[in-house]
Amino acid sequence: MSAHQQGTGSAYFIDTKKQEIETHTLAVIAENQPGVLARIIGLFAGRGYNIDSLTVSETEHEKHVSRFTIVTTGTAAVITQIKAQLDRMVPVHSVADLTAEGNFLARELALVKVNGLGDKRIEALRLGDAFRARVVDASVESFVFELTGKPDKIDQFISLMMPLGLVEVSRTGVAAISRGIEVLKD
């Protein structure tokens, strides 16, 4: 298709309204060297891409290889560009668009502190149970819940805890992996 048929597509007069914004989860395998995280974050900041969530950890200690899970939003063209920009980085082994490739699991862990007394405290505990959250710390006036699940499940739990005395939240960001026998190559 020519540019003409693509709508404006102009670097100058981008008409963002017409283009649908998508959320994609990318898995990036990279050398665990100093500066790799800075280089990746710098790419997103410098080129104006969004990061909704980013998690990173060394996954193969012997090979010094890290896995990044990046949740990002943008038009289809921007997502393709992000993939290409990541892939051409010298320390990056491979980039996979888990959203584009189909079925995948995304999980996040949250620690949620709820302070309160009386009925609210009982209700918080009951809801925690319903969400299969574990109580990992308790005092007479507080609970800390540990919860894993999809990000929207955690969002929902947090919103339910809001009126029940929620005071603090710590979330890990998303870790993701494809379903089935497919393996991400490094």
Partner 1 sequence: MADEELMTGAEIVLRALADQGVAHVFGYPGGAVLPIYDEFFQQEKVKHILVRHEQGATHMAEGYARSTGKCGVALATSGPGATNCVTGLTDAMLDSIPMVLITGQVPTHLIGMDAFQECDTVGITRPCTKQNWLVKNVNDLARIIHEAFYVAMTGRPGPVVVDIPKDVQFAKGKYTGPEGVIVKSYQPKTAPNVTAIEAAIDLISKAKRPLLYTGGGVINSGLEASKLLREFVALSGIPITSTLMGLGAYPASGKEWLGMLGMHGTYEANMAMHDCDVMINVGARFDDRITGRLDAFAPNSKKIHIDIDPSSINKTVKVDIPIVADVKQALAALLAEWKKRGVKLDAVSLDSWKRKIDQWKSVDCLKYKPNRDVIMPQYAIQRLYELTKTRDTYITTEVGQHQMWAAQFYRFEEPNRWMTSGGLGTMGYGLPAAVGVQAAHPKSLVIDIAGDASVQMTMQEFSTAIQYRLPVKIFIVNNHYMGMVRQWQQLLHGNRLSESYSDALPDFVKLAEAYGGTGLRCSKPAELDAAIMQMINTPGPVLFDCEVANLANCFPMIPSGKAHNEMLLGADVSDEDVGSAIDARGKQLV
Contact residues for partner 1, defined by CB under 8 A: 1-4, 6-13, 30-31, 34-35, 38-39, 42, 46, 77, 80-81, 84-85, 87-93
Angle at 58 between CA 53 and CA 62, to 5 degrees: 165
Residue 95 or 147 having the CB closest to partner 1? 95
Nearer to partner 1, 39 or 107 (CB): 39
Taken as a whole, the chain contains a residue count of 186
**Closer residue to partner 1, CB minimum distance, 43 or 135:** 43
In angstroms, give the least distance from the CB of 83 to partner 1: 9
Nearer Cβ to partner 1, position 90 or 181?
A: 90
Q: Residue 177: which residues within 8 A CB-CB, separation 6 or more?
A: 27, 98, 104, 105
Q: Are 86 and 26 in contact (CB under 8 A)?
A: yes
Q: How far is the CB of 76 from partner 1 (least distance, A)?
A: 10
CB 120 within 8 A of CB 164: yes
Residue 58 CB coordination number (10 Å): 12
Q: Which is nearer to partner 1, 92 or 147 (CB)?
A: 92
Output the smallest distance, CB 131 to partner 1, in A. 40
CB of 18 to partner 1, least distance (A): 12
Please report how close the Cβ of residue 88 comes to partner 1 at its closest, in angstroms.
5
Measuring CA to CA, which residue among 100, 98, 109, 85 is closest to residue 183?
A: 98
The enclosing H or E element of 166 equals: strand 166-171
CB 173 within 8 A of CB 53: yes
Give the tokens for residue 172.
């890990």
